[in-house]
C-alpha cells in the first residue's frame, strides 16, 4: 500500500495497525516513495559470538597508522 505524507500523518494509527498485521506501507512525497513502514520481528535475532570464525582474517597491520598520503586526505 502506498500513501502520501499527509495521509500518513492523518491516519498513522490505522496504518500502524495494518503494519502490525504484516502489511508494508510506502510513504510517498510528491509521488516519490521516501519511506517504508514494515513490521518488526517479534523476537530480535540472537547473535552468536564467533559465528563468522574462519570467514575473514584480520591483517596483522590492522591497527597500524594509515600511510601519510591517506592521512593527509583527512586534514585538508
At 10, which CATH number? 3.40.1620.10
Whether residue 72 is contained in a domain is answered as no
User: Higher confidence at residue 46 or residue 36?
Assistant: 36
- The grid coordinates listed for 68 are 601519510
Which structural domain, as residue segments, surrounds residue 34? 1-40
Residues whose CB falls within 8 Å of the CB of residue 38, separated by 6 or more in sequence, listed in order: 19, 24
Does residue 48 fall inside a structural domain? no
Identify the residue with better confidence: 42 or 30.
Answer: 30
Tell me the residue ranges of DSSP E strands in the chain: 2-4, 25-29, 32-37
Query: Across all residues in the chain, what is the average pLDDT?
Result: 91
Number of domains in the chain: 1
Q: What is the mean pLDDT of residues 18-27?
A: 93
Q: Is residue 56 part of a domain?
A: no
Q: Is residue 2 part of a domain?
A: yes
Q: Is residue 63, in this structure, part of any structural domain at all?
A: no
As separate numbers, helices (DSSP H) first and strands (DSSP E) second, the chain gives: 3, 3
Residue 31 lies in a domain: yes
Amino acid at each position: 500500500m502506498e500513501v502520501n505524507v499527509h495521509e500518513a500523518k492523518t491516519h498513522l494509527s490505522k496504518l500502524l495497525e495494518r503494519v502490525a498485521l504484516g502489511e508494508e506501507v510506502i510513504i510517498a512525497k510528491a509521488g516519490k516513495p521516501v519511506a517504508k513502514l514494515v513490521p518488526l520481528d517479534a523476537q530480535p535475532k540472537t547473535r552468536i559470538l564467533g559465528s563468522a570464525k574462519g570467514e575473514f582474517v584480520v591483517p596483522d597491520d590492522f591497527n597500524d597508522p594509515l600511510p601519510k598520503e591517506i592521512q593527509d586526505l583527512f586534514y585538508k
